[in-house]
């Protein structure tokens, strides 16, 4: 059931009928480019058609300028019986439950993120049903396959209900270009979806790489990367990625590595592997 008086979920409706959209920021509280972009959009954009829900997601983490407080909110959007008891009782899960009704009625979601990696390349996460929209957003990389690896994300939730979930990774948290990149993409997204009127003459043509994410490594004990990996760094078969406890972990084949991180938790997400595909 939707809470209609939540001041951190702002709904704007146009004078004409149209698509129901959601734009989210702050799923991870320290990813500040999305917060800036949504605040700017609320101040400057007039929705002409359809409905747009602007959602500030993880309020507790935003207030503390941290990624999360009790769990990764981008794993909280899945059935309760797929969560642990501590996850079910977490702040992030309770907040996700308040947001779910807005996402459930949305035909398309844009969820704005950034990365802790200083060398992060801006990219889009979506499934093939969103390729047509994603390829118009002028990002250098579109990556798919994540729903099978990361159940419980916001885009997963929308996809599972027949909508289109699109996540944009806008670069490093403190990349000076990230806030404008997030805002410009938000505006372009609303224009593509018909919610506002835009001109596209100033959008540079971008050659899009397509990457399928296919393998996630979860730590058996704890995981330590052998070095700092940038997102989409290429690996050759046999390359040492890091250590799971005392065991070496090597690339099983030529591939690409994404979201490589150290974790001291058993079952913690350590990295994702993918492969480049031909854009059809």
- Chain segment 91-109, per-residue pLDDT in tens: 999 999 999 999 999 999 9
Structure-block tokens of residue 243:
């250590």
Structural domain that includes position 80: 9-193
Report the alpha-carbon distance of residue 75 to residue 96 in Å, rounded: 10
pLDDT score recorded for residue 256: 97
Residue for token digits 């974790």? 263
Beta-bridge partners for 55: 9, 24
CB 266 within 8 A of CB 222: yes
Segment 42-52 shows an average pLDDT of: 97
Q: What angle do CA 222, 228, 232 make, to 5 degrees?
A: 105
- pLDDT score recorded for residue 119: 76
What CATH number corresponds to the domain at position 225? 2.40.50
Instruction: Please give the pLDDT value at position 118.
Output: 78
From 160, 193, 226, give the residue that closes a domain: 193
Q: Are 266 and 187 in a shared domain?
A: no
Q: Domain check: are 36 and 150 in the same one?
A: yes
Q: How far apart are CA 227 and CA 117, in angstroms?
A: 12
CATH code for the domain in which residue 51 is found: 3.40.630.10
Q: In the structure encoding, which two tokens stand for residue 184, read together?
A: 């410009």
Residue with tokens 């997400």: 269
pLDDT for res 278: 82
Q: Which residues contact 2 (CB under 8 A, 6 or more apart)?
A: 101, 102
Q: What is the 3-state secondary structure (H, E, C) of 173-188?
A: CCCCCHHHHHHHHHHH
User: What's the pLDDT band for 32 if we cut at 50, 70, 90?
Assistant: very high
List the one residue out of 6, 5, 14 whose CA is nearest residue 193: 14
What are 104-160's pLDDT values in tens digits? 999 999 999 998 877 788 999 999 999 999 999 989 999 999 999 989 999 999 999
Q: Is residue 201 part of a domain?
A: no
Residue finishing a domain among 167, 193, 219: 193
Same domain, 127 and 264: no
Say which residue the tokens 């030529």 belong to: 254
236-257: b (≥16 Cβ within 10 Å) or e = eeebebbbbeeeebebeeebbb
More confident position, 5 or 42: 42
Mean pLDDT of the residues in the chain = 94
Q: Please report the pLDDT score of residue 199 as a whole number.
A: 81
- Residue 116 inside a domain? The answer is yes
- 39 sits in the region (left: phi over 0; alpha: psi -120 to 50; else beta) called alpha
In this structure, the answer to whether residues 97 and 159 fall within a common structural domain is: yes
pLDDT at residue 280 greater than cutoff 70: no
- Domains in the chain: how many in total? 2
Do 160 and 36 have their domain in common?
yes
High-pLDDT (> 70) share of the chain, %: 95
Indicate the pTM of the whole model: 0.93
Q: Are residues 110 and 233 in the same domain?
A: no
Tens digits of per-residue pLDDT, 188-222? 999 999 999 988 644 555 668 999 999 999 999 89
Which residue, 251, 247, 253, is CA-closest to 239? 251
173 and 216 assigned to the same domain: no
């Amino acid at each position: 059931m939707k809470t209609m008086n939540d001041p951190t979920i702002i709904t704007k409706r146009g004078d004409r009928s149209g698509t129901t959209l959601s734009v989210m920021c702050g799923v991870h509280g320290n990813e500040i480019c999305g917060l800036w972009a949504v605040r700017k959009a609320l101040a400057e954009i007039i929705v002409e058609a359809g409905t747009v829900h602007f959602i500030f997601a993880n309020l507790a983490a935003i207030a503390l300028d941290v990624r999360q407080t009790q769990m990764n909110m981008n794993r909280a959007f899945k059935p309760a019986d797929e969560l642990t008891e501590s996850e079910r009782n977490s702040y992030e899960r309770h907040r996700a439950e308040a947001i779910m009704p807005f996402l459930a009625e949305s035909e398309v979601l844009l969820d704005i993120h950034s990365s802790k990696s200083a060398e992060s390349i801006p990219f889009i996460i979506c499934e093939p049903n969103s390729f047509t929209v994603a390829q118009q957003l002028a990002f250098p990389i579109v990556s798919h396959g994540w729903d099978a690896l990361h159940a419980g994300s916001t885009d997963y939730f929308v996809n599972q209900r027949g909508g289109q979930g699109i996540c944009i990774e806008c670069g490093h948290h403190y990349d000076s270009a990230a806030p404008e990149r997030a805002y410009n993409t938000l505006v372009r997204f609303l224009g593509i979806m018909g919610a506002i009127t835009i001109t596209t003459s100033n959008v540079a043509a971008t050659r899009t790489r397509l990457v399928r994410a296919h393998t996630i490594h979860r730590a058996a004990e704890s995981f330590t990367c052998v070095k700092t990996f940038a997102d989409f760094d290429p690996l050759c078969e046999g390359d040492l990625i890091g250590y799971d406890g005392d065991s070496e972990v090597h690339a099983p084949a030529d591939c690409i590595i994404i979201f490589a991180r150290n974790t001291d938790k058993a079952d913690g997400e350590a990295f994702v592997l993918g492969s480049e595909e031909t854009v059809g």
